[in-house]
Amino acid sequence: MSGRFEARGDVGILWIDNPPVNAISQSVRVALLDGLKQAESHGAIKAVVIACAGRTFMAGADITEFSGPPRSPGLPEVIDALDAFSKPVVAAIHGTAFGGGFEVALACDHRVALGNAQVGLPEVKLGILPGAGGTQRLPRLVGIEPALQAMISGDPIPVPVARDMGAIDKIVDGDLTEAAVAFAREKIGSPRRRVRDLTLAPDAVPAGFFDAARQRTAKEKRNLFSPQRIIDAVEAAATLPFDQGIQRERDLFIECARNSQAQALQHVFFAERQVAKIPGLPADVKPRSIKSVAIIGAGTMGGGIAMNFANAGIPVTLLEVNQEGLDRGLGVIRKNYEATAAKGRLTAEQVETRMGLIKPALSYDALADADLIIEAVFETLEVKKKVFETLDRVARKGAILASNTSYLSIDTIAGYTSRPADVLGMHFFSPANVMKLLEIVRGARTAPDVLATALDVAKRIKKVGVVAGNCHGFIGNRMLEGYMREGSLLVLEGATPQQVDQALVKFGMPMGVLQMGDLAGLDIGYKSRKDRDPGTFEVKAGAVADKLVEMGRLGQKTQAGYYDYQAGQRTPIPSDVVARVIEETAAGYGIQRREISEQEILERCFLAMVNIGCEVLREGIAYRASDIDIVYLYGYGFPAHRGGPMFWAEHELGLPQALEKIREYGRKHGTRWWTPSPLLERLVAEGKGFAQAL
Ligand code: NAD
């Protein structure tokens, strides 16, 4: 049983007990209905408190029920029973009251809560909307605008804020149950104060409010389906009688639940929870204690990485080759913090505290006590070799030695030390203080507790850690090579850079692949192509970029790359010069330029990536296809509402179609880059999906 009824004098407590988070499973819904029945018929009970055992109030729906057929009774039925109940009801909130949990609380007459609790309606994050009256009750309780904002952001609302909004009646300091019972006792004899009966003031909605909200949301939540439906539901709350509003909410909920975005976002939700489960890593492996960190190199990445630790309150030493490098690096960090402070998201004092946690250094002596050292120097093996040989001499025994390398072999780097078990990759994404991904590269000899520590560190600095095996480019950059190759080839074959980029942006990417090259700097690819064996990559794909670099067009930093840029601006402006370079280069290869469709752009860019993803999976570089999706969502801005590249291939395109397309491009463009991964062939032959890949 997930609930029990307790009579405390004239107040009944309806206890919910469904560890660990009191998810509103079928058994909880049954318990709520039973409890209400008992309380209704119990003559001595004059008011009721809904309270939860354990560490939290009902934290939300039981998401494992999402995939199966609906199980009766549904939450709306429970809420209807609460509406029909005759005695005052008070919700006693501790921990988190999210989603359905908050909707239950909203169907009570009053809400009392501990000050450190949180409430919220996060359904939007799963591609749906509050479907148990939340869209109709919250606006009546707190007003149209704050309610809409809460549901469109889906963010947790701290109880003090919720109290100021009018969603919480009382903040309790001390025994929550006692306080809730006392509160309920005060209401005995009063008529019920149901939220559904509250009326909005006639001037609650300024003229044009919903149109403006739709436009703003279309920009802020680009391409997303459910935020617009939330606006529709709140408009219904403002314009329709309650029961009609509820019906509208139900219809809109079903529309959202049936939309492919809901499936994709729920995939992301589960994928994120899976990612930290590492096959073969025993659960009892204890992470090493990390109290201080050192970063080598205060460039683009080193500075951002240092900020992550300072933000988490962990002292960090930042080492550079000379004072100038240090000053430049620290200057950028300060500028970043001050920009955040200017937006009101940090106080001046917090800026100083964080800067104070970053200790500049020019000598390796300063690293002798660090528990974790992350190298972020230039991307060449010679420089990395010197650094790791030195670290081997100066780092304390048991310190973890990590490299932020983008492509180089972690095993080679580990081999520069006498302690390869302590070495691994910690690959951050640019800007390192913003992007949520941390690719953790497990070397052949990395010790289990070192891996466990990196996963733990990722959590502490609020990143999502994804474990990858060691190969050129690991998961993310190895797949990116296919994406960039096809983007560049499409340009040679007849598409303009803006056509390619616009197709990708329309799909949902934050920027196109050529814009991304301009942002990172075209010289990076140029240098790596010069260092690589031309037999290992598609030389033709780099030909335009090579010419642009040789013309001094390095990307945004020189205000010219694939596009032109105005000083200080990031808006790409098509360039005639580049158009000529493209035409000349294509002519040089004897390419007949042709019309290229948007569909071809998407298929070639993403299928090239997915086919490599299948190889990454087959080789065990990634443990799960869903890990690859997480890498792309948090490292490269792949749109969450499409679930990630592997989810897209499986669920939007279908694996048989993906395979057929790869074969078709192989027939047209040669099989050098378009040979289907044997894993993909096998899955299609066996009628399986990525979840059954291994
Ligand atoms: P960067 O050129 O901006 O910075 C490198 C810094 O390291 C410079 O400030 C340099 O002075 C310093 N440095 C060089 N040798 C040093 C030494 N021996 N001791 C101390 N400091 C030294 O380069 P970056 O973009 O920050 O890249 C650093 C590493 O991170 C590379 O391995 C790169 O592949 C990787 N990476 C870069 C990105 C990116 O988008 N820029 C993303 C992920 C990973």
pLDDT tens for each residue of 376-402: 999 999 999 999 999 999 999 999 999
Confidence of residue 16 (pLDDT cuts 50, 70, 90): very high
Q: Which atom of ligand 1 approaches the CA of 406 most closely?
A: 34
Helix 134-142 × helix 144-153 angle, to 10° = 130
524 CB under 6 A from ligand 1?
no
* Torsion sign over Cα 319, 309, 465, 286: positive
Q: Which of 327, 333, 378 to mutate to test the pocket of ligand 1 (most atoms within 8 A of CB)?
A: 378
Measure 569 CA to ligand 1 centroid, in angstroms: 25
Among protein residues, the one whose CA lies closest to atom 31 of ligand 1? 379
406 CB under 6 A from ligand 1?
yes
How many whole angstroms separate alpha carbon 81 and alpha carbon 75? Answer: 10
Q: List the beta bridge partners of residue 52.
A: 16
- Over range 556-572, report the average pLDDT: 95
How many whole angstroms separate alpha carbon 137 and alpha carbon 238? Answer: 11
Measure 376 CA to ligand 1 centroid, in angstroms: 5
516 CB under 6 A from ligand 1?
no
Cis peptide before 73 (omega within 30 of 0): yes
Amino acid at position 659, single letter: L
Q: Which atom of ligand 1 approaches the CA of 375 most closely?
A: 29
- Segment (H or E) for 11: strand 11-16
432 CB under 6 A from ligand 1?
no
Q: Which atom of ligand 1 approaches the CA of 328 most closely?
A: 9
pLDDT tens for each residue of 532-554: 899 999 999 999 999 999 999 99
Among protein residues, the one whose CA lies closest to atom 44 of ligand 1? 406
Confidence of residue 46 (pLDDT cuts 50, 70, 90): very high
Measure 455 CA to ligand 1 centroid, in angstroms: 23
- Helix, coil or strand: residue 94: coil
Confidence of residue 64 (pLDDT cuts 50, 70, 90): confident
Confidence of residue 493 (pLDDT cuts 50, 70, 90): very high
- Cβ-count burial of 61 within 10 angstroms (0-12 exposed, 13-18 middle, 19+ buried)? buried
* Torsion sign over Cα 114, 117, 119, 123: negative
pLDDT value at residue 263? 95
217 CB under 6 A from ligand 1?
no
How many whole angstroms separate alpha carbon 591 and alpha carbon 581? Answer: 14
- Over range 28-54, report the average pLDDT: 97
The model's pTM: 0.93
Measure 415 CA to ligand 1 centroid, in angstroms: 20
Measure 238 CA to ligand 1 centroid, in angstroms: 55
pLDDT tens for each residue of 141-187: 999 999 999 999 999 999 999 999 999 999 999 999 999 999 999 99
Inter-residue contact 159 to 167 (CB < 8 Å): no
Confidence of residue 528 (pLDDT cuts 50, 70, 90): confident
Confidence of residue 272 (pLDDT cuts 50, 70, 90): very high
Q: List the beta bridge partners of residue 598.
A: none
How many whole angstroms separate alpha carbon 165 and alpha carbon 171? Answer: 13
Q: What's the order of all strands across the beta sheet hosting 358-361?
A: 358-361, 316-319, 293-296, 372-375, 400-403, 423-428, 437-442, 464-469
Measure 306 CA to ligand 1 centroid, in angstroms: 13
Inter-residue contact 486 to 612 (CB < 8 Å): no
Measure 524 CA to ligand 1 centroid, in angstroms: 12
Helix 476-493 × helix 513-520 angle, to 10° = 110
- Over range 648-675, report the average pLDDT: 97
For the record, the structure tokens of 119 come out as 């409430």
182 CB under 6 A from ligand 1?
no
304 CB under 6 A from ligand 1?
no
Q: Residue 281, Cβ neighbours under 10 Å: how many?
A: 16
Measure 538 CA to ligand 1 centroid, in angstroms: 26
Alpha helices in 42-143 (DSSP H): 75-84, 100-106, 134-142
Q: Which atom of ligand 1 approaches the CA of 524 most closely?
A: 41
Does pLDDT of 42 surpass 90?
yes
Measure 302 CA to ligand 1 centroid, in angstroms: 7
pLDDT value at residue 551? 98
- Strand segments (E) across 211-292: none
pLDDT value at residue 344? 96
Does pLDDT of 643 surpass 90?
yes
pLDDT value at residue 347? 97
387 CB under 6 A from ligand 1?
yes
Inter-residue contact 92 to 50 (CB < 8 Å): yes
556 CB under 6 A from ligand 1?
no
For the record, the structure tokens of 11 come out as 């107040």
Inter-residue contact 413 to 479 (CB < 8 Å): no
- Active site amino acids: 103, 123
426 CB under 6 A from ligand 1?
no
Largest CA distance in the chain: 92
Q: Which atom of ligand 1 approaches the CA of 407 most closely?
A: 34
Per-residue exposure over 471-506, b if at least 16 CB sit within 10 Å of its own CB, e if not: bebbbbbbbbbbbbbbbbbbbbbbbbbbbbbbbbbe
268 CB under 6 A from ligand 1?
no
Give the DSSP letter of residue 167.
S
Does pLDDT of 619 surpass 80?
yes
In percent, the amount of the chain with pLDDT more than 90 equals 96
59 CB under 6 A from ligand 1?
no
Does pLDDT of 283 surpass 90?
no
For the record, the structure tokens of 130 come out as 């509050």
- Over range 81-100, report the average pLDDT: 97
Does pLDDT of 202 surpass 80?
no
pLDDT value at residue 492? 98
Measure 615 CA to ligand 1 centroid, in angstroms: 29
520 CB under 6 A from ligand 1?
yes
404 CB under 6 A from ligand 1?
yes
376 CB under 6 A from ligand 1?
yes
pLDDT value at residue 387? 98
- Cβ-count burial of 209 within 10 angstroms (0-12 exposed, 13-18 middle, 19+ buried)? middle
Does pLDDT of 200 surpass 90?
no
End-to-end CA distance of the chain: 38
Cis peptide before 20 (omega within 30 of 0): yes
390 CB under 6 A from ligand 1?
no
- Segment (H or E) for 89: strand 89-93
Among protein residues, the one whose CA lies closest to atom 43 of ligand 1? 429
Q: Which of 295, 300, 380 to mutate to test the pocket of ligand 1 (most atoms within 8 A of CB)?
A: 300
pLDDT tens for each residue of 678-688: 999 999 999 99
How many whole angstroms separate alpha carbon 340 and alpha carbon 24? Answer: 39
Q: Which of 323, 367, 377 to mutate to test the pocket of ligand 1 (most atoms within 8 A of CB)?
A: 377
Among protein residues, the one whose CA lies closest to atom 40 of ligand 1? 430
For the record, the structure tokens of 154 come out as 């889906």
Among protein residues, the one whose CA lies closest to atom 8 of ligand 1? 299
Measure 378 CA to ligand 1 centroid, in angstroms: 4
How many whole angstroms separate alpha carbon 327 and alpha carbon 348? Answer: 20
pLDDT tens for each residue of 414-436: 999 999 999 999 999 999 999 99
425 CB under 6 A from ligand 1?
no
- Segment (H or E) for 92: strand 89-93
Does pLDDT of 1 surpass 80?
no
Confidence of residue 659 (pLDDT cuts 50, 70, 90): very high
Give the DSSP letter of residue 535.
G
Q: What string of DSSP letters covers 363-387?
A: SGGGGTT-SEEEE---S-HHHHHHH
pLDDT tens for each residue of 210-257: 999 999 999 999 999 999 999 999 999 999 999 999 999 999 999 999
Q: Which atom of ligand 1 approaches the CA of 379 most closely?
A: 32
* 302: nearest Cα among 406, 432, 439: 432
In percent, the amount of the chain with pLDDT more than 70 equals 100
Confidence of residue 25 (pLDDT cuts 50, 70, 90): very high
Per-residue exposure over 446-467, b if at least 16 CB sit within 10 Å of its own CB, e if not: bbbbbbbbbbbbbeebebbbbb
pLDDT value at residue 571? 95
* 497: nearest Cα among 506, 486, 508, 488: 488
How many whole angstroms separate alpha carbon 206 and alpha carbon 144? Answer: 10
CB hemisphere CA count around 687 (13 angstroms) = 0
72 Cα distance to chain centroid: 32
pLDDT tens for each residue of 461-476: 999 999 999 999 999 9
How many whole angstroms separate alpha carbon 281 and alpha carbon 274? Answer: 14
How many whole angstroms separate alpha carbon 678 and alpha carbon 619? Answer: 11
> What integer best gives the mean pLDDT of the chain?
96
Give the DSSP letter of residue 122.
G
* 236: nearest Cα among 224, 252, 222: 252
Among protein residues, the one whose CA lies closest to atom 14 of ligand 1? 377
* 425: nearest Cα among 462, 498, 374, 472: 374
Does pLDDT of 512 surpass 90?
yes
pLDDT value at residue 63? 82
